[in-house]
C-alpha cells in the first residue's frame, strides 16, 4: 500500500517535471509570463512530492517490508535503525531516488530566490534543471523502481514489477532481508555518498544559469556572480565527499591505503578537477572580463562529468569495488550525456563571438596568465584521468585487445602536473592582475636565468647514469628533471616575492635530506610544500602587518578583520595551506609506507620500523542480535622499547550477507600511523594469528589538512553581510587597466 503510494507520487512528480519544462518553454517562446510562473510553481512542488516518496521508501526500509525487492536486497532485521535509513542510498534504485530528491531540493530552492533583476534567466533555469530532474525520475519510474515487488513471471523467471504480471506468481514473503553490504555499514558511509551527491547535484545549478545566459545572450558575468556561492558549496561537498571516501577506505577496506585510482574514484575526481579549474577561472572573468568561452566550456564539462560519474557507478561498464551490477540505465545515461553535451556545446558556438574577451592578456607572468596555466594543468590532469579510465574501451576499438592501466599510470603521469600546480599555488597569489611587464618581479637577467637552469642539466649530464638507476628509467628521470627546471625558472622570475620562501624551503629540504630521506621525488615534494606554505603564510603576515600599521590594531584583531574583509581571498589561501598539509600526508604514505606480515604464537612479536607489536590473545564471539561474529586480537605496541598501549584489530563476519570485514587497529601520531590487520587466526587452538602491519608515515597530515580545508572553504563561502563591500579589496595593489569590475 505504502509502496504503491510512493510509486504513484513518483510518477506524478515525473509528469509535473515534464509539465514544468513544457510550460516554461511555451511561456517564454509564446511571451506568456503566466506559464513561466506556472512552471516555477510546478518546480517548487517537486521537492515536497519527492520528499513524500523518499519518506515512503524509508518507511518501508525501517519496517522491514521484505515484499519490496529493494528493501529485501539492502536491509535485514538485525540492522540498526540508522543503517536502515541510510540503506536508502545503499543500492541503485534508492540512490537514484536520493539523487533526484537532493536535486529537487536545490531546484526548488533556486526558484524561490528573488528574480526581479534576472527575470529572463528564469524560464531557462527551470528548463535545464527540470530536464535533469525528469531524467533521473524517469530512471526510477521506468528502469530502477525502488518500490517494485518480486514475482516469478509465467516463464518462471524472476522479475521485479509493481503489479503481478499476467500468469505470474508472487515470490513468497521472505523472513529476512539480505542486509546491507558490511563495507557500507560504517559511519563514513552515512555521510560519504550524500556529500558526493550533494556536490554532484549542486553543479546542476551553475550549469543551468550558464545555459540560461547562453540562450538569452547575456555575455556579462551576471550568471557567474549569481551562482558563485552555489559553485563554492558544490565544490565543498564534492571535496568532502572525496575526502570522506578516502577516510572510509582507510578505515574499512583494510589495504592500508585511502585512494586506489579505482575508476569510480576517478569518476568523482574528474568533476572535481573541472570544478576547481572553474572556481579559479571565473575570477578572471569577474576581474578582467576574459576567458568567458572557457568558463562556459568548464561548467558544461563539469555538468557532463557529474552525470558521467553517476553513469560510471551505475552502468557496470568498468569493474570496480564500487560496482553495482550493470543494468538498463547505462545506455540511457550515455544518451543523456551525449544529448546535453552536444546541445550545450552547440549553444556555446552559437554565442561564441559574443563571448570574446574584453581585454587582452599582456604578460605570461600576470595573474590571469598563471590562472590560465593552472586551468590548463587541471585539464591536463583530467585528460590523464579520462584517458586512463577509458583506455580499455579505446584500446579495444583500436586494436581489439583490451588494455587497462593501473595506479602506477596515474601516479607517474599526474605527479609532475601536481608538482607544477603546487608551485603555482605558492606563486600565483604573489602576481598581479593585468600586469603588463615583468617589473614587479624584477627584470629578467637572461645569463643568470640561463645559469640557474643550466646547473641541473649539467649535473644531470655528468651523473645521468646514477640518477637513471636511482629513479628507474630514463623517462621518469627526464620528467623529474623537467619539473625541477620549471620550478627553478619560476622561482627565478618571481625572485623578489619568493626569495624568503625559497630560502625557507631550501633549508627544510636540506634538513629532510640529512635526517629523513634521500628520495629525490620526496625531496622535490617537500621543497614545493615548504615553498608554497612559506609564501602563503608570508602573505598573511605581510597583509596583517600592513593593516596593523595603518589601523593601529593589535596583531590578532588585524588578522581577524583582514580575513573577515577579504573572505574569498584568505579563505582561498587557507585552502592552499590545507592542500599543502594534505600533500605532506600523501607523500608520506605514497613514498615511505612500510609493511610486514607474519604468523605469531601468543607472546611472539613482530618489528617494523621503530615499532614492535606483541601478540597477546585472540577471542571469538557471536553477537546474535546484530547477526555478527567478531574475532578480535589484542596486540601490545612498543616504540623503541617504550610501551604505548594495546591495539585490537578485528575481523567481523555478517551472517545475513555472508560477508566479512577487516577492521584495522590503528595507533596514530603526527609522525606516522601504525596500522595492524588481523589476517587470519587458528580457530581451534586459538594460539596463532597472522598479522599484517603497515607504518604509514605522515598520513595524519592528510586528515588534518582536510579539517583546515573545511575551515577555509567555510570562510570563502560565508555569506556577505553587505555584498556591495565585497569586491573592493583587489584594487589596492593592482595596476587595473580596465573597468571590468
Region from 126-134, 236-244, 350-358, 681-689 binding other proteins, contact rule CB under 8 A: 681-689
Q: How many CB atoms lie within 10 A of CB 365?
A: 20
- Phi, psi dihedrals of residue 313, rounded to the nearest 5°: -65, -30
CB of 606 to other proteins, least distance (A): 13
Residues 589-648 that bind other proteins (CB under 8 A): 597, 599
Residue from 222, 225, 247, 362 in contact with other proteins (CB under 8 A):
362
| Contact characters 458-487, other proteins, x per CB under 8 A | ---------------x-x---x--x-----
CB distance 376 to 364 below 8 Å: no
Closest listed residue to residue 97, CA positions, set 74, 116, 114: 74
- Phi, psi dihedrals of residue 381, rounded to the nearest 5°: -60, -40
Distance CA 211, CA 229 (A): 17
| Contact characters 238-267, other proteins, x per CB under 8 A | ----------------x-------------
Residue 270 or 717 having the CB closest to other proteins: 270
CB distance 100 to 80 below 8 Å: no
Q: Does 310 interact with other proteins (rule: CB under 8 A)?
A: no
Region from 114-122, 355-363, 505-513, 619-627 binding other proteins, contact rule CB under 8 A: 355-363
Distance CA 215, CA 53 (A): 34
Extract the C-alpha cell encoding 211: 545555459
Look at residue 12 and give its three-state secondary structure: helix
Q: Does 408 interact with other proteins (rule: CB under 8 A)?
A: yes
Total number of residues that touch other proteins (CB under 8 A): 74
CB of 445 to other proteins, least distance (A): 20
Distance CA 483, CA 528 (A): 11
Q: Does 710 interact with other proteins (rule: CB under 8 A)?
A: no
CB distance 56 to 3 below 8 Å: yes
Residue from 8, 168, 489, 660 in contact with other proteins (CB under 8 A):
660
Q: Does 275 interact with other proteins (rule: CB under 8 A)?
A: no
Residue from 323, 438, 608, 704 in contact with other proteins (CB under 8 A):
323
Residue 416 or 585 having the CB closest to other proteins: 416
Residues 24-83 that bind other proteins (CB under 8 A): 72-73
Long-range contacts of 730-736 (CB under 8 A, 24+ apart): 730/287, 730/433, 730/569, 733/432, 734/432, 734/433, 734/434, 735/432, 735/433, 735/434, 735/435, 735/436, 736/433, 736/434
Extract the C-alpha cell encoding 249: 577506505
Residue from 324, 334, 516, 710 in contact with other proteins (CB under 8 A):
324
Positive or negative: CA dihedral 3, 6, 12, 16? negative
Q: Does 738 interact with other proteins (rule: CB under 8 A)?
A: no
Q: How many CB atoms lie within 10 A of CB 289?
A: 19
Residue 33 or 406 having the CB closest to other proteins: 406
Residues 80-119 that bind other proteins (CB under 8 A): 91-92
Residue 373 or 438 having the CB closest to other proteins: 373
Distance CA 117, CA 59 (A): 42
CB of 623 to other proteins, least distance (A): 18
Residue from 15, 44, 361, 714 in contact with other proteins (CB under 8 A):
361
Contacts of 425 (CB under 8 A, 6+ apart): 532, 536, 576, 579, 580
Residue from 152, 460, 630, 710 in contact with other proteins (CB under 8 A):
152
Region from 50-58, 224-232, 425-433, 656-664 binding other proteins, contact rule CB under 8 A: 656-664
Residues 175-204 that bind other proteins (CB under 8 A): 178, 181
Residue from 142, 158, 350, 541 in contact with other proteins (CB under 8 A):
158
Look at residue 621 and give its three-state secondary structure: strand
Q: Does 679 interact with other proteins (rule: CB under 8 A)?
A: yes
Amino acid at each position: 500500500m505504502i509502496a504503491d503510494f510512493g510509486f504513484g507520487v513518483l510518477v506524478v512528480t515525473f509528469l509535473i517535471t515534464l509539465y514544468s519544462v513544457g510550460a516554461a518553454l511555451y511561456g517564454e517562446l509564446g511571451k506568456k509570463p503566466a506559464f513561466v510562473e506556472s512552471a516555477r510553481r510546478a518546480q517548487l512542488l517537486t521537492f515536497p512530492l519527492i520528499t513524500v516518496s523518499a519518506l515512503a521508501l524509508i518507511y518501508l526500509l525501517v519496517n522491514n517490508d521484505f515484499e519490496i525487492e529493494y528493501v529485501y536486497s539492502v536491509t535485514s532485521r538485525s540492522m540498526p535503525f540508522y543503517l536502515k535509513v541510510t540503506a536508502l542510498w545503499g543500492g541503485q534504485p534508492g540512490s537514484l531516488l536520493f539523487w533526484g530528491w537532493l536535486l529537487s531540493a536545490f531546484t526548488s530552492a533556486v526558484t524561490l530566490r528573488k528574480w526581479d533583476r534576472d527575470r529572463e534567466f528564469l524560464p531557462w533555469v527551470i528548463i535545464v534543471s527540470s530536464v535533469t530532474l525528469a531524467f533521473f525520475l524517469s530512471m526510477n519510474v521506468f528502469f530502477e523502481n525502488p518500490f517494485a515487488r518480486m514475482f516469478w513471471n509465467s516463464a518462471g523467471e524472476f522479475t521485479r514489477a509493481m503489479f503481478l504480471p499476467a500468469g505470474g506468481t508472487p515470490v513468497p514473503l521472505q523472513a529476512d532481508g539480505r542486509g546491507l553490504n558490511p563495507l557500507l555499514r560504517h559511519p563514513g558511509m552515512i555521510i560519504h555518498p550524500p556529500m558526493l551527491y550533494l556536490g554532484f547535484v549542486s553543479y546542476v545549478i551553475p550549469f543551468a544559469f550558464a545555459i540560461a545566459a547562453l540562450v538569452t545572450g547575456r555575455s556579462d558575468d551576471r550568471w557567474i556572480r549569481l551562482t558563485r556561492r552555489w559553485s563554492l558549496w558544490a565544490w565543498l561537498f564534492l571535496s568532502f565527499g572525496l575526502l570522506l571516501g578516502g577516510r572510509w577506505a582507510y578505515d574499512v577496506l583494510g589495504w592500508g591505503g585511502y585512494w586506489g585510482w579505482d575508476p569510480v574514484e576517478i569518476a568523482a575526481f574528474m568533476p572535481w578537477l573541472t570544478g576547481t579549474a572553474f572556481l579559479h577561472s571565473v575570477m578572471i572573468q569577474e576581474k578582467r572580463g576574459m576567458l568567458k568561452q572557457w568558463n562556459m566550456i568548464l561548467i558544461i564539462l563539469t555538468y557532463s562529468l557529474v552525470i558521467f560519474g553517476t553513469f560510471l557507478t551505475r552502468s557496470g561498464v568498468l569493474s570496480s569495488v564500487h560496482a553495482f551490477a550493470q543494468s538498463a540505465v547505462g545506455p540511457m545515461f550515455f544518451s543523456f550525456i551525449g544529448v546535453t553535451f552536444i546541445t550545450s556545446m552547440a549553444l556555446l558556438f552559437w554565442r561564441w563571438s559574443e563571448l570574446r574577451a574584453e581585454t587582452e592578456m599582456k604578460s605570461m607572468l600576470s595573474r590571469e596568465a598563471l590562472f590560465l596555466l593552472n586551468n590548463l594543468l587541471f585539464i591536463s590532469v583530467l585528460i590523464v584521468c579520462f584517458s586512463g579510465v577509458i583506455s580499455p574501451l579505446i584500446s579495444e576499438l583500436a586494436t581489439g585487445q583490451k588494455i587497462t592501466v593501473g595506479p602506477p599510470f596515474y601516479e607517474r603521469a599526474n605527479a609532475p602536473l601536481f608538482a607544477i600546480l603546487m608551485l603555482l599555488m605558492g606563486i600565483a597569489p604573489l602576481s598581479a592582475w593585468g600586469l603588463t611587464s615583468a617589473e614587479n618581479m624584477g627584470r629578467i637577467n637572461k645569463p643568470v636565468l640561463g645559469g640557474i637552469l643550466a646547473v641541473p642539466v649539467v649535473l644531470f649530464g655528468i651523473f645521468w647514469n646514477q640518477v637513471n638507476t636511482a629513479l628507474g628509467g630514463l623517462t621518469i628521470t627526464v620528467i623529474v628533471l623537467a619539473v625541477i627546471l620549471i620550478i627553478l625558472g619560476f622561482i627565478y622570475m618571481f625572485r623578489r616575492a619568493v626569495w624568503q620562501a625559497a630560502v625557507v624551503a631550501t633549508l627544510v629540504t636540506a634538513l629532510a635530506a640529512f635526517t629523513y630521506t634521500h628520495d629525490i621525488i620526496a625531496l622535490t615534494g617537500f621543497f614545493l610544500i615548504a615553498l608554497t606554505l612559506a609564501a602563503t603564510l608570508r602573505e598573511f603576515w605581510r597583509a596583517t602587518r600592513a593593516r596593523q600599521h595603518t589601523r593601529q590594531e593589535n596583531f590578532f584583531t588585524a588578522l581577524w578583520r583582514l580575513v573577515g574583509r577579504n573572505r574569498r581571498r584568505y579563505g582561498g589561501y587557507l585552502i592552499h595551506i590545507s592542500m599543502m598539509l594534505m600533500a605532506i600526508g600523501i607523500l608520506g604514505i605514497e613514498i615511505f609506507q612500510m609493511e610486514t606480515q607474519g604468523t605469531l604464537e601468543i607472546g611472539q612479536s613482530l618489528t617494523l620500523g621503530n615499532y614492535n607489536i606483541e601478540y597477546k590473545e585472540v577471542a571469538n564471539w557471536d553477537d546474535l542480535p546484530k547477526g555478527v561474529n567478531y574475532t578480535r586480537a589484542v596486540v601490545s605496541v612498543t616504540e623503541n622499547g617504550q610501551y604505548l598501549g594495546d591495539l585490537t584489530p578485528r575481523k567481523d563476519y555478517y551472517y545475513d550477507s555472508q560477508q566479512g570485514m577487516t577492521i584495522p587497529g590503528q595507533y596514530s601520531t603526527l609522525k606516522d600511523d601504525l596500522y595492524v590487520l588481523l589476517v587470519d587466526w587458528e580457530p581451534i587452538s586459538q594460539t596463532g594469528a597472522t598479522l599484517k602491519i603497515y607504518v604509514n608515515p605522515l598520513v595524519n597530515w592528510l586528515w588534518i589538512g582536510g579539517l583546515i580545508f573545511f575551515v577555509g572553504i567555510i570562510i570563502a563561502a560565508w555569506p556577505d553581510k553587505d555584498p556591495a563591500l565585497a569586491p573592493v579589496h583587489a584594487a589596492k595593489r593592482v595596476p587595473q587597466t580596465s573597468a571590468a569590475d
